[in-house]
Chain A
Amino acid sequence: MLNEKEFKCRQMKASKFSLSLFVSLLSVSLFADDFSNPPSPRITSVTTVSNAQRQIIFTPYPSADQFKILRSGNLSSNSWLEDLTGVFSGVTWTSPQNSSNAFFQLQVTPLSSNAILTATILSKLTYGPTPDLLARLATNSLDTFITEQLNPETIAENVSLTHTNIDYIAAKFGTPTNVLSATATTGPGTAGIADFRAWYALRAVGADRQLHEILTQFIDNHFVTQYGKDVNFVAGLQFPAGVLQRFGTDLEYRELSRWRQVLLTPTGTFSNLLTISAESPAMLIYLDTASSRGNGANVPNENYSRELLELFTMGVDNGYDQSDITNMAPCWTGWTLEMVATNQAFNVFASKTTNYLDPNAVNKTAYTNLVGVWALNFKVNNHAAYAKTIFGGKIVPARFGAPYTTKTYGGNSTPGLYQLNIPSRTGTNGMQDGYDVVAHLANLPFTQEFLSVKLCRLLVHEDFSTGYTFTDPNLSEEGKLVKACMAAWEANGGQLRPVLATIFNSALFRGNGGNAQKVKTPFEFSVSAIRAIRTSTNGSGMMGSFTASTDGYGLVQSAGGPQVQGTASPMARMGGMVLFNRSDPDGYPEAGSGWISAGTLAERIRYIQSLLLATGVTGKNDDNIFLTKNLTDPVTLLRLRLPVLADQKDAGKVADLFLGLLYPGEGKASLDEYRTIAMNYLNTDDTGANSSPFNLLTPSNVANNIYDTRVRGMVAMLMTLQRFNEQ
């Protein structure tokens, strides 16, 4: 471990102003880039302010815990002594007046590698640090925590204790195996899309199995479908407006709950997840497979085939071309959905249900008169029965190297040839085409590469891309990690957990290069803000005892359209992230450039300010009444962590407490200027213009009390700074 390893850099005699003579104790570069292996801090200027008062300015260093200035009268001697006479302010050190001439040297003590890894784990395997998890990981094994999160079925899940809404909403749904019967007047279950989103957000905030929630979000976003299109589908069949929401919600929930089951299965594979997506009625609607026909002279719809290759498996132009899309499209014809009797929900060849709402209705077979469930259904007459060849003559490129170039694929005897031959099939056998495609795509090297890249972008940083030359001896660290992920995939038949473990064990993930290099999505931002100051006041973890909480709806509920003035949900305001309703099939972006702009930053700030406002005060609802259900009580958190009254009145200790909770991976010295700003905040009145010493205020957590408002404002301020957008 690099714990407490010191980096030193030297500076020529102050009066000479020369730069850049520095020595790094870690001069052997482990990594190609400065993010993983940050350069030692460097003194960039030494100036004399007046009366031999010297000012030394140096470059920042990530996760710096402490800076020291050492001085010596003699460059060649080893008698470097720490100069304690000066004062640090960020990356500036200022000596007192009449400081004698000397050689100066800068020394930095980085945060321990354990502390950096803790911050990374809590940012990537969970929806952000909580005070309790920080405390736990300070004394417990990080690798044990990783192992637990990788095997969620080994952890007790107590999230339903944290808010009544979890069970309340869950009861509105069916289950993956016990689908709910529906009619045009009742709909399946009673949940609307806002219920589903709230349930989902509550789990992200409070689940013990955090990685399970993160991977659920990743997979749902990867195999994106759109709630609005589900609704349009049933609306087009004349279902009445009152129940449209329930049908759409049900379709989104059913695919999600199936994925969650796979993610809870130790041997779950990507192929399992892909199959669920292909079979999902929501996907059949979203990419128009439901209406595609290949019989006779019909031209099949290409939409699903294209995105299946480009976005769900291989990655854009990664091993396929337009002819493969065109040749694949007929394979999916006939895959559609139908309203069938509930006991036929898993019979893909079932006929339309004959359970009628009104057996005597004039048009009793109208969809609005049926009782049943919307399920995957294969329509023989729509299917293109002819033989198809996909990836004809295509060979795995040399850049993948062995075993990918030397093994055989499917029924091909030529090594590296991944041509897929689909024979002519008639009747219900035609459905096998789609399953053949899924089985073939699921473990192609291109798919392994693309999914590994996407997981690395989720869990490490965003600068991974397909197209590495894996045989290159000078392959980048990113390329090597993708290669290692693919090796784990290949060795374990596409199981997800070995791939994830490869990432978590990698030097890229565990070092500086994996720490705070990414921008949070609106969902990650909203949830992490609550978690950052959320502890159970009595240790019970029960609802009502948290210093920060939401009812779920407060994050996701919109009373109007997503962009219309006023009533949009926080996540819609922060860049149009509306769960389960992405219109573009690429899913919500992982890269920060998709989320960060002046307008969306202003919305992130407003969300934090609303969150930290006390209940009932002006501005709390910020034009959306649901925001009043996001509750915070930072003073109670403060009292738990600083039980001594004098400490509660100490601006420095209060600032340090929250800086430590919000920025556990930054290090005290890196946060020095934030600390100064926080203390200034605590020691000025609400205008910021007048002094109002914090230690004269009487601690209180009552709304509108000066102390309470001051602490709330300071915490909000810290969360609206640039660094809180990072993970």
Chain B
Amino acid sequence: MPNINVISRRGFLQHSLKAGAGIGLASLMNLPPFVKRALAEGNIGTNGKKLLFIFLRGANDALNSVIPVGDNAYGAGIRPGIFIPQDGGVNYGTASACEFPTGLASTFQYANAIKLGNGFAALHPSLKFLAPVYNAGDLALVHRVGYPKQSRSHFDSQAYWESGEPNSVLREGIFYRTLLESGLTSSNPLTGVSIQSGLPLLFRGTQAAMTNLSDPTRYDLMGVPSDPLSGDLKAKNILLAAQNSRFADKRSRPLLSLQYKNMLDTLDIFAGINFQETGNTFVDNANSDGAGSSPYYLFPTSDSKNGGATAAKFVVDTGAYGFFEQLKGAAMILNNTDAIIAGTEMGGFDTHNNQGGITGDHANLQTRIAWAIYALRKYFSNYANKATWNNTIVVTLTEFGRTTVQNTSGGTDHAEAGLMFVAGGGVKGYGKNGRVSGAFGCHTGDPIPWQTGTTGSMYGVSGRYLQRVIDYRSVLGEIIREHLGATSNQINRIIPGYAVSGESLLSRGTSSIDGTEIMGELDLV
């Protein structure tokens, strides 16, 4: 089965060799070159809408996040060491709001699946802080998400999510193309920002630079001597002057030129933003976890800012501080600059070994997801400047789901369909538009029903893997189209699959790639 992957790679290689190096997607996709804003169509970047992404690297175990408790195949039989038990006193099958177990002696004392209230699914208890967001109608839980001919390689699959092109060797980002379509990248040096160790593929491309800050608190030069006026200024000015030096083209030079220019253009943009710990003053406007002495900090970057500041009342594990430091940076930049898309990543989801159930590694990671979404809602509501909660969407990405049956290491292996979290004031979730559920793709009553049992959805692919009914491109595409304001022509360029009607990304149909029936866009926003 070295099928389409190798063939398309070979085709791509031949193509790129003919055209010489420096080929971008543009020449393959007929993207317009670097349009000026005046000529740009659509409203990306001009309608005030923003997007914050979090990539959950390693592949989140969807079946232990939004748990199909209504599927009798889920349980101790297939996941003896890691399944999430049901609360004997709760009827998960009735419609209601999501339970929010608060006021407990310790934050995560409730040790059963949390009733979601859609009559089928439940939340991992570590996701409890999603409940208020869900109940406000601001959260969509999108289950059974994947793409045709799913790769079970982390690196290929992450690349496909980030490029927006499954089973392609193109290495150019979906958000890069989105921002290029805004027509603003030539006039605004800061359209897309990531806060992580390196620039993600989501933002990579050859015609414009997106910005990655590895540590916002250190985004400054020093100089020799190291002094803001002498040395530092001299060094910066001379780097600017050197930008005009012309050299012959070499393979890495376009990349270096773009990113050097972006650095020099953005070094001073963040001057008014205090990324230091002293600037982390954002707190909840309510007692987050029921009865408590004072509202919690939104971005837990230290023990003293973690929930109630004692181990029992921490809202996230103590290993989460680095992530929240980065998330805070992304949120502050989105809120205080003209950046349109910002985000970060969280690793650790490749839980092959000893992933834990109610507690443990995977549970800890999930506390971070839930608190991040909870906190971002509060931050963009109570501290809104350029980004308001109503104008902002938070979306998570992850490369695939994990095996239905656990392995002997107390973990799960690479599988197929997974889960996306989509949050924002504009999300049409529970209670909005007459909806009784904010979960999508996770019910036996869905347009494409969740089939239960040992021959059901959880075994839908190769008898081992959860089968998709939603394509990740439909979720991202709807956000880019309906929220960020791309036109249909633009979305066809940003996500090439949209231009292929057989892919059924826009509306329900059968994928022409692999014959799987999928839902198309979900009317999430």
Interface residues of A (CB under 8 A from B): 32-35, 38, 59-62, 64, 90-91, 236, 287-288, 291-294, 298-303, 306, 310, 316-319, 321-322, 325, 397, 461-463, 465-469, 476, 515-519, 561-566, 568, 573-576, 583-586, 592-603, 605-606, 609-610, 612-613, 617-620, 622-623, 670, 673-674, 677, 680-681, 684-688, 709, 712-713, 716-717, 720-723, 725-726
* B277 in the interface (beta carbon within 8 A): yes
The answer to whether A688 and B234 touch across the interface, beta carbons within 8 angstroms, is yes
**Nearest CB in chain B: distance from A580 CB, A:** 16
**Nearest CB in chain B: distance from A284 CB, A:** 11
The answer to whether B247 and A563 touch across the interface, beta carbons within 8 angstroms, is no
**Nearest CB in chain B: distance from A319 CB, A:** 6
Contact indicator per residue, chain B 221-257, by CB within 8 Å of chain A (1) or not (0): 1111111011101110111011011111111110111
The answer to whether B152 and A713 touch across the interface, beta carbons within 8 angstroms, is no
Q: Which of A462, A600, A677 is most buried by chain B, counting CB atoms within 10 A of its CB?
A: A600
Q: Which of B199, B218, B251 is most buried by chain A, counting CB atoms within 10 A of its CB?
A: B251
The answer to whether A573 and B222 touch across the interface, beta carbons within 8 angstroms, is no
If A573-B215, A725-B252 are given as contacts, then 19 extra A-B residue pairs at C-beta distance below 8 Å, sorted by A number, are A34-B20, A288-B409, A292-B408, A299-B408, A301-B408, A461-B251, A467-B10, A565-B217, A576-B214, A599-B211, A601-B260, A605-B221, A605-B222, A606-B218, A609-B224, A610-B222, A687-B233, A717-B224, A720-B235
Picked from A322, A476, A561, A600, the residue with its CB within 8 Å of the CB of B214 is: A600
The answer to whether B154 and A584 touch across the interface, beta carbons within 8 angstroms, is yes
CB nearest to A605 among chain B residues: B221
In the bound complex, what is the Cα–Cα distance between A670 and B247 (angstroms)? 7
* Set of chain B residues within 8 Å of A566, measured between Cβ atoms: 217-218
The answer to whether A35 and B249 touch across the interface, beta carbons within 8 angstroms, is yes
Picked from B219, B246, B326, the residue with its CB within 8 Å of the CB of A673 is: B246
How many residue pairs at the A-B interface have CB separations less than 8 Å? 307
* B286 in the interface (beta carbon within 8 A): no
* B9 in the interface (beta carbon within 8 A): yes
Picked from B211, B220, B223, B347, the residue with its CB within 8 Å of the CB of A597 is: B211
**Nearest CB in chain B: distance from A62 CB, A:** 4
**Nearest CB in chain A: distance from B221 CB, A:** 5
Q: Which of A64, A574, A725 is most buried by chain B, counting CB atoms within 10 A of its CB?
A: A725
* Set of chain A residues within 8 Å of B227, measured between Cβ atoms: 618-619, 686
* B105 in the interface (beta carbon within 8 A): no
The answer to whether A575 and B222 touch across the interface, beta carbons within 8 angstroms, is no
Picked from A38, A303, A602, A617, the residue with its CB within 8 Å of the CB of B226 is: A617
CB nearest to B214 among chain A residues: A599
* Set of chain B residues within 8 Å of A573, measured between Cβ atoms: 214-215, 218
Interface residues of B (CB under 8 A from A): 1-3, 5-6, 9-10, 13, 16-17, 20-21, 57, 151-156, 169, 171, 194, 197-199, 204, 209, 211-227, 229-231, 233-235, 237-239, 241-242, 244-253, 255-257, 259-260, 262-263, 266-267, 276-277, 321-322, 325-326, 347-348, 350, 352-354, 405-411, 413-414, 462
The answer to whether B197 and A298 touch across the interface, beta carbons within 8 angstroms, is no
The answer to whether A301 and B212 touch across the interface, beta carbons within 8 angstroms, is no
Known A593-B204, A722-B257: A33·B21 in contact at CB below 8 Å: yes
The answer to whether A593 and B255 touch across the interface, beta carbons within 8 angstroms, is yes
The answer to whether B214 and A563 touch across the interface, beta carbons within 8 angstroms, is yes
* Set of chain B residues within 8 Å of A325, measured between Cβ atoms: 152
**Nearest CB in chain B: distance from A720 CB, A:** 7
Known A33-B20, A33-B21, A301-B352: A599·B226 in contact at CB below 8 Å: no
Picked from B152, B156, B256, the residue with its CB within 8 Å of the CB of A725 is: B256
The answer to whether B211 and A476 touch across the interface, beta carbons within 8 angstroms, is no
Q: Which of A596, A717, A726 is most buried by chain B, counting CB atoms within 10 A of its CB?
A: A596
The answer to whether A302 and B153 touch across the interface, beta carbons within 8 angstroms, is no
In the bound complex, what is the Cα–Cα distance between A245 and B237 (angstroms)? 44
The answer to whether B224 and A712 touch across the interface, beta carbons within 8 angstroms, is yes
* Set of chain B residues within 8 Å of A595, measured between Cβ atoms: 198
The answer to whether B214 and A302 touch across the interface, beta carbons within 8 angstroms, is no
Known A598-B263, A681-B234: A716·B224 in contact at CB below 8 Å: yes
Q: Which of B197, B218, B277 is most buried by chain A, counting CB atoms within 10 A of its CB?
A: B197
The answer to whether A613 and B407 touch across the interface, beta carbons within 8 angstroms, is no
In the bound complex, what is the Cα–Cα distance between A597 and B256 (angstroms)? 8
Per CB-CB distance, the 4 closest pairs between chain A and chain B, nearest first, are A619-B226, A576-B197, A688-B234, A597-B212
In the bound complex, what is the Cα–Cα distance between A301 and B410 (angstroms)? 9
**Nearest CB in chain A: distance from B178 CB, A:** 18
Interface of B (DSSP majority class): loop
* Set of chain B residues within 8 Å of A618, measured between Cβ atoms: 225-227
* Set of chain B residues within 8 Å of A561, measured between Cβ atoms: 322
The answer to whether B213 and A463 touch across the interface, beta carbons within 8 angstroms, is no
Known A601-B263, A602-B219, A686-B231: A301·B407 in contact at CB below 8 Å: yes
Known A310-B153, A583-B347: A598·B212 in contact at CB below 8 Å: yes
Known A298-B408, A565-B218, A619-B226: A34·B251 in contact at CB below 8 Å: no
The answer to whether B242 and A722 touch across the interface, beta carbons within 8 angstroms, is yes
The answer to whether A713 and B204 touch across the interface, beta carbons within 8 angstroms, is no
The answer to whether B245 and A321 touch across the interface, beta carbons within 8 angstroms, is no
Known A598-B211, A673-B242: A302·B413 in contact at CB below 8 Å: yes
In the bound complex, what is the Cα–Cα distance between A130 and B215 (angstroms)? 32
In the bound complex, what is the Cα–Cα distance between A644 and B153 (angstroms)? 61
CB nearest to A63 among chain B residues: B248
**Nearest CB in chain B: distance from A545 CB, A:** 24
The answer to whether A303 and B413 touch across the interface, beta carbons within 8 angstroms, is yes
The answer to whether A677 and B223 touch across the interface, beta carbons within 8 angstroms, is no
In the bound complex, what is the Cα–Cα distance between A584 and B405 (angstroms)? 23
The answer to whether A670 and B248 touch across the interface, beta carbons within 8 angstroms, is yes
**Nearest CB in chain B: distance from A627 CB, A:** 11
The answer to whether A316 and B155 touch across the interface, beta carbons within 8 angstroms, is yes
The answer to whether B413 and A603 touch across the interface, beta carbons within 8 angstroms, is no
The answer to whether B235 and A293 touch across the interface, beta carbons within 8 angstroms, is no
In the bound complex, what is the Cα–Cα distance between A555 and B350 (angstroms)? 30
The answer to whether A468 and B152 touch across the interface, beta carbons within 8 angstroms, is no
In the bound complex, what is the Cα–Cα distance between A308 and B400 (angstroms)? 20
The answer to whether A463 and B408 touch across the interface, beta carbons within 8 angstroms, is no
Q: List 9 A-B contacts (CB under 8 A).
A: A306-B152, A317-B3, A317-B156, A574-B214, A599-B219, A602-B219, A602-B220, A673-B242, A722-B256
